[in-house]
């Protein structure tokens, strides 16, 4: 079995980076560990450069177990961007609230590596490998505030529930293997066309959906996410909501749209129902929340529902919609969570009520939170609107009920987003002293703001790229 190393340079570089940070952390004195963040940042930017540079490379290696095409490269870039923003925007938050543990940044890098391997998976074993690398890294990260009971509780919950979902996923994989006799996606697709199937395959399919639905926090497999999102360090929450979710969507598409196409009639409706449920549950339960992280967790469930609409379409325009939305979702979510972390750093609270008068105390942070939330709600001239437009246009023939539900639920979401806005802009602060944001936070916020506004006004180029990538997915 020949290995084409040129196709996996990104992965190799990332693995080296993770090990290097870890080793370096052991060598250098404890006081110098603060600098590890900078090394991680620099390294990740270089890896991103490599990933962008190797965009033209396409092919398969390890006998089809590893697929590199524009589709996977796109999601790798999304994951790396998320990782960079997490490392950069939450520096002070991590230093102040997590501690300078040498494992933190290397674990972030390993989680990223897990995502990237999963995105490129061409068979079930690689998929599981990447998924577990990612999940185990996240279990560690979620529980990182070991002095905080909430963080520990979230860690335990995530450990047990993720383990459970992994077991289900693995069971599903074995059933699919049993039904088709192969673990390679391409051969599974062929075998289904050749007539294999039956109850075994369908049960396997359900378990696959459950296992991956858990990762993207789609209802009704979402129940872990509010607790974990709330308890985890905010930086980890942000990464969980963006990178982990985007990578899981990539592999969902790869497995369902790419491989299980033959039994589409069995899962399209199922995914549509799950999407509808996610929109409903996410948006409705977000309304009474008082903790902003919990609210964003439910909003993230709803967002998963919107993105799943693109899988329902199971077409090029649907896949393009998912890619576009994943990209912009990273920036909107990162922007929102960066504000949450920065505010927590100052006032030690995640309660929405404590955001009163934030517009006076930290105008930029309040503006970015406003814009990011409006983008998630899908207000025109912001990126989220364009993304939702692409997603819903892909299913407008045939799933009108889902489109209508999406529209109504978007309106509902405006309600709970604007509640936060109201508190920030209308209410007077208890303590009017301005909150001074660090430069790294300001830059991250400006990036999130700039991308969200720019792609809302001028989505053309990214939409073209996503379209090309989606095309490469269907005609390799």
Partner 1 sequence: MVEFALNHAWLVPLLPALAFVIIVFLTQRWKRLSSLVSITAMLGSFVIASIIAYGVFTNHEFIEKSLVYSLKWFGMEGFNINVGVMLDPTSSMMLFMVSLVASLIQIYSTGYMKGDPQYSLFFAYLSLFGASMLGLIISSNLLQLFVMWELVGLCSYLLIGFYTFKVSAREAAKKAFMTTRIGDFGMLLGILFLQIKFGTLDLVELAAAIPMFEQFGVSLGLLTLIALLFFMGPVAKSGQFPLHVWLPDAMEGPTPVSALIHAATMVVAGVYLIGRTLFLYVQVPGAMEVVAAIGAFTALFAAAIAITQREIKRILAYSTVSQLGYMMLALGVGSLSASMFHLWTHAFFKALMFLAAGSVLHALHNKADVWDMGGLIKKMPITGWTFVVGGLAIAGIPPFAGFWSKDEILVVTMEYAKHGHALGYVLFGMAAFTAFLTAFYMWRMIFLTFFGKEKAENHPHESPWSMTAPLIVLAVMASIGGLIGTPWANIWGEWINFGEVHHAEPALGLMLLSVILALAGIGLAYTLYCKDGEKKTARKLAENYQSLYQLSYNKFYIDEVYAWFTQKIVDGTARVTYYFDIYFVDGIVNGIAAVTRGSGKGLRYLQTGSMQTYALVFFLAILVITVVLAFGSPSLASIMGGVK
Query: For partner 1, which is the closer residue by CB, 20 or 393?
Result: 393
Q: How far is the CB of 466 from partner 1 (least distance, A)?
A: 12
Q: Looking at beta carbons only, is 101 or 389 nearer to partner 1?
A: 389
Distance CA 277, CA 382 (A): 25
β partners of residue 351: 291
Distance CA 80, CA 109 (A): 9
Burial of 198 (0-12, 13-18, 19+ CB in 10 A): exposed
How is residue 3 written in tokens? 């290995």
**Which of 25, 459 has the CB closer to partner 1?**
459
Closest approach of partner 1 to the CB of residue 147, in Å: 21
The neighbouring-strand residues paired with 123 are 184
Closer to partner 1 by Cβ: residue 32 or 404? 404
Of residues 129 and 161, the one with the C-beta less far from partner 1: 161
Report the 3 state secondary structure along 230-297. HHCCHHHHHHHHHHHHHHHHHHHHHHHHHHHHHHHHHHHHHHHHHHHHHHHHHHHHHCCCCEHHHHHH
Rounded to a whole number of angstroms, the minimum distance from the CB of residue 245 to partner 1 is 18
Q: Compare residues 274 and 372 and give the one whose CB is closer to partner 1.
A: 274
Q: Cα–Cα distance between 75 and 316 in angstroms, integer? A: 16
Q: Which is nearer to partner 1, 70 or 320 (CB)?
A: 320
Residue 460 CB, nearest approach to partner 1 (Å): 5
Q: How far is the CB of 171 from partner 1 (least distance, A)?
A: 10
Paired strand residues for 66 = 61, 121
Q: Output the smallest distance, CB 461 to partner 1, in A.
A: 9
CA–CA dist 68, 80 (Å, integer) = 16
Determine phi and psi for 391, rounding to 5 degrees. -65, -50
- At closest approach, how far in Å is the CB of 233 from partner 1? 19
Provide the minimum distance between the beta carbon of 32 and partner 1 in the complex, in angstroms, as a whole number. Answer: 37
Give the angle subtended at the CA of 224 by the CAs of 219 and 227, to the nearest 5°: 125
For partner 1, the closer CB: 15 or 393: 393
- In DSSP notation, 69-124 reads SHHHHHHHHHHHHHHHHHHHHTHHHHHHHT---HHHHHHHHHHHHHHHHHHHB-BH
Task: Find the shortest distance in angstroms from Cβ 183 to partner 1.
Answer: 22
Tokens, residue 340: 């949450």
The number of beta carbons lying within 10 Å of the beta carbon of residue 447 is 20
Residues found near partner 1 in the complex (CB under 8 A): 157, 160-161, 164-165, 168, 199, 202-203, 205-207, 209-210, 214, 220-221, 223-224, 226-227, 264-266, 268-270, 272-273, 281, 284-288, 314, 317, 386, 390, 393, 398-399, 401, 412, 415, 458-460, 463-464
In the complex, least distance from residue 284 CB atom to partner 1, rounded to whole angstroms? 4
| CA 339 to each of CA 6, 40, 331, 363: distance values in angstroms, whole numbers, following the listed order | 39, 22, 12, 11
**Min separation Cβ 252 and partner 1, Å:** 16
Which residue's CB is nearer to partner 1, number 341 or number 470? Answer: 470
Q: What span, in angstroms and rounded, lies between the C-alpha atoms of 169 and 74?
A: 25
Choice between 169 and 340, CB closer to partner 1? 169
CB closer to partner 1, 8 vs 328: 328
Strand partners, 60: 67
CB of 161 to partner 1, least distance (A): 6
**Closer Cβ to partner 1, 165 or 444, answer by number:** 165
Q: How far apart are CA 158 and CA 170, in angstroms?
A: 17
Q: What HEC string does 317-337 produce?
A: HHHHHHHHHHHHHHHHHHHHH
360/377 Cα distance (integer angstroms) = 24
Q: Using CA atoms, how far apart are residues 284 and 384, in angstroms rounded to an integer?
A: 19
């Amino acid at each position: 079995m020949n290995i084409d190393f040129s196709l996996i340079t990104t992965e190799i570089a990332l693995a080296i980076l993770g090990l290097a940070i870890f080793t370096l952390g052991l060598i250098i004195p404890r006081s110098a560990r603060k600098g590890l963040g900078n090394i991680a940042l620099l390294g990740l930017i270089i890896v991103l450069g490599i990933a962008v540079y190797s965009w033209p490379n396409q092919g398969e290696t390890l006998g089809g177990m590893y697929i590199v095409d524009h589709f996977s490269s796109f999601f790798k870039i999304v994951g790396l961007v998320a990782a960079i923003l997490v490392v950069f925007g939450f520096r002070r938050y991590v230093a102040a609230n997590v501690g300078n543990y040498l494992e933190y940044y290397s674990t972030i890098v390993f989680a990223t590596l897990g995502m990237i391997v999963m995105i490129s998976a061409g068979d079930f074993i690689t998929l599981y490998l990447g998924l577990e690398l990612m999940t185990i890294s996240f279990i560690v990260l979620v529980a990182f505030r070991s002095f905080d009971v909430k963080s520990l509780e979230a860690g335990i919950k995530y450990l047990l529930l993720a383990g459970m979902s992994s077991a289900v996923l693995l069971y599903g994989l074995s059933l699919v293997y049993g039904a088709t006799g192969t673990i390679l996606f391409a051969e599974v697709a062929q075998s289904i066309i050749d007539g294999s199937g039956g109850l075994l395959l369908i049960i396997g399919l359900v378990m696959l959906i459950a296992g991956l639905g858990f990762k993207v926090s789609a209802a009704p497999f979402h129940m872990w996410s509010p607790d974990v999102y709330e308890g985890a360090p905010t930086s980890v929450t942000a990464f969980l909501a963006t990178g982990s979710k985007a990578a899981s969507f990539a592999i969902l598409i790869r497995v369902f749209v790419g491989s299980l196409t033959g039994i589409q009639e069995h899962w399209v409706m199922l995914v549509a129902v799950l999407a509808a449920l996610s929109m409903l549950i996410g948006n409705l339960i977000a309304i009474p929340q008082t903790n902003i992280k919990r609210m964003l967790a439910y909003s993230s469930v709803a967002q998963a529902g919107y993105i799943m609409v693109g899988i329902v379409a199971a077409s090029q325009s649907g896949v393009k919609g998912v890619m576009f939305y994943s990209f912009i979702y990273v920036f909107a979510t990162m922007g929102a969570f960066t504000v949450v972390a920065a505010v927590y750093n100052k006032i030690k609270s995640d309660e929405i009520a404590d955001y009163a008068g934030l517009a006076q105390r930290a105008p930029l942070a309040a503006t970015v939170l406003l814009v990011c939330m409006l983008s998630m709600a899908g207000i025109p001239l912001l990126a989220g609107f364009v993304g939702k437009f692409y997603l819903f246009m892909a299913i407008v023939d045939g799933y009108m009920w889902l489109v209508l539900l999406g529209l109504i639920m978007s309106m509902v979401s405006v309600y709970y987003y604007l509640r936060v806005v109201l508190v920030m802009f209308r209410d007077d602060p208890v303590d009017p002293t301005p909150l001074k944001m660090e430069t790294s936070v300001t830059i991250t916020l400006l990036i999130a703001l700039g991308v969200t506004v720019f792609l809302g006004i001028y989505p053309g180029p990214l939409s073209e790229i996503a379209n090309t990538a989606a095309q490469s997915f269907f005609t390799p």
